[in-house]
Amino acid sequence: SYFVKIGEDIAIELMTKPGLVGQQPDNNRCGWVHLAISVGGNENVDAMVMRAKERGILVSGPRTTGDGYYEAVIRDQDGNLIEIVA
């Protein structure tokens, strides 16, 4: 993973995953894998998780990742994965 920071508040994660060929049945894809959006804190992640549950678009609930981010994952109407990050 590479993180591109824009000012103090915006970070874009660029991630590669070697060894993938073609479209996979889960979220292991060639090309676009997911988009991560910082929402400004754990409380905001938790609030978005509640809304995502109500709408049936929550993929995985809040957790702290190995690289220290508090996040949850939702799926948009086109099937794209979006990480909601503190």
State the pTM of this model: 0.67
**In angstroms, how far is the first alpha carbon of the chain from the final one?**
18
Percent over 70 (pLDDT), the chain: 84
How many CB atoms lie under 10 A from the CB of residue 58? 19
Give 2-85's CATH code, choosing from 1.10.3720.10, 3.10.310.70, 3.10.180.10, 3.40.50.150: 3.10.180.10
Predicted local confidence at residue 44, as pLDDT:
95
For the chain, what are the domain ranges?
2-85
**How much is the average pLDDT of 42-49?**
96
* Residues in the chain, overall count: 86
